[in-house]
Amino acid sequence: MEVTKDEIVFFVKSVKEISNYDFTEYSEKSFGRRLEKIKGDLNQTVEQIIAKMRVNTEFLETIIREITVNTTELFRDPPLWHTINEEVLPRLTNKDEINIWHPGVSNGLEAYSLLIMLSEKGLLERVKSIGTDLNPEMLDIAVKGKYRYKVVSDYLANFDLVLNAGKNEKDSSFVPYSKYFDLDKIKGTIKMKSFIQSKVEFMRHDLVQDRNIFGHEFDLIICRNLLIYFTPNLQNRIFDFFHQILKPNGILILGAHESILGSAMQKYDKKGAIYNKR
């Protein structure tokens, strides 16, 4: 079911009126595609969807979850994790406390991936990691650190690519999954070990509307596959905000299809996938 520009504008305006969500500066193209899918799945008009969202908070949250893309993986984009391991983590080793922020962390797998890597580098003790998202349901999953095995098992290949490339299971440096997860194949679940979970705090933060609610600055911000859904103007404002909230020499990492293009470019030095605060 196609959506018109007018329908998108009506949806965004209505959502802003009836909730705290503001999608005004989300890119129309991907937003339109999501709304089209929702309309098709429900077989309802945008007016009917909004009418139901007005009176049913649970439905409203479901639609918000559907309209925002929550896809994520354990060690998503393995080559980037090699870069993080080789070029980013060595720069953090001399810090007493390592402050990390993952805006748009979805169900937490990205934050857990980094913590596993930090643990392998012997840096876990000094880490304070924060994962934030717009979506409370995703954050609930993140806090529990419990995933359906069927979903995560697809990503275990990433784990091996990043941590066990070229190693044999008998090598002393081989990292078994059991070091970081409890696997229950009967229940079909995979749960992060508590020593990893205890190093990260998950909380709601809307990157469009909220600013520094954390009370401190960060050595590293990893914000992947979120800004791609924002207009270039909004992206630029967020890059300015990241610049403010990064410590001197702080590092920003974006998704594979994201980059700083506007005026904020002057505030960072880009080296491959890494943006260094100027």
Ligand X SMILES: C[S@@+](CC[C@H](N)C(=O)[O-])C[C@H]1O[C@@H](n2cnc3c(N)ncnc32)[C@H](O)[C@@H]1O
**How many residues form the binding site for ligand X (CB under 6 A)?**
23
Query: Contact with ligand X (CB under 6 A): which of 191, 224, 267, 277?
Result: 224
Which long-range contacts does 36-43 make (Cβ < 8 Å, 24+ apart)?
Answer: 36/1, 36/2, 36/3, 37/66, 38/63, 38/66, 38/67, 39/1, 39/3, 40/1, 43/1
b vs e for 43-54, b when ≥16 Cβ sit within 10 Å of the residue's Cβ? eeebeebbeebe
* 8-state DSSP, 200: E
67 forms part of the interface with ligand X (CB under 6 A): no
Nearer to ligand X, 162 or 226 (CB): 226
Residues 6 or more apart whose Cβ sits within 8 Å of residue 5: 28, 32
CA distance 256 to 80: 8
Query: Contact with ligand X (CB under 6 A): which of 43, 71, 94, 178?
Result: 71
Mask of contacts with ligand X, 191-210, x by CB under 6 A? ---------------xxx--
- Closest to 35 (Cα-Cα) out of 19, 56, 53, 20: 53
Stretch 122-151 residues interacting with ligand X (CB under 6 A)? 133-135, 138
259 forms part of the interface with ligand X (CB under 6 A): no
Nearer to ligand X, 14 or 27 (CB): 27
Nearer to ligand X, 27 or 276 (CB): 27
Is residue 99 within 8 Å of 222, Cβ to Cβ?
Answer: no
CB of 68 to ligand X, least distance (A): 4
CB of 89 to ligand X, least distance (A): 19
Nearer to ligand X, 106 or 236 (CB): 106
Nearer to ligand X, 89 or 234 (CB): 234
Query: Contact with ligand X (CB under 6 A): which of 11, 50, 72, 145?
Result: 72
Query: Contact with ligand X (CB under 6 A): which of 225, 239, 246, 268?
Result: 225
- The tokens describing 247, both together, are 């410590």
**Residues at the contact surface with ligand X, assessed by CB under 6 A:** 68-73, 76, 103-106, 110, 133-135, 138, 206-208, 224-226, 255
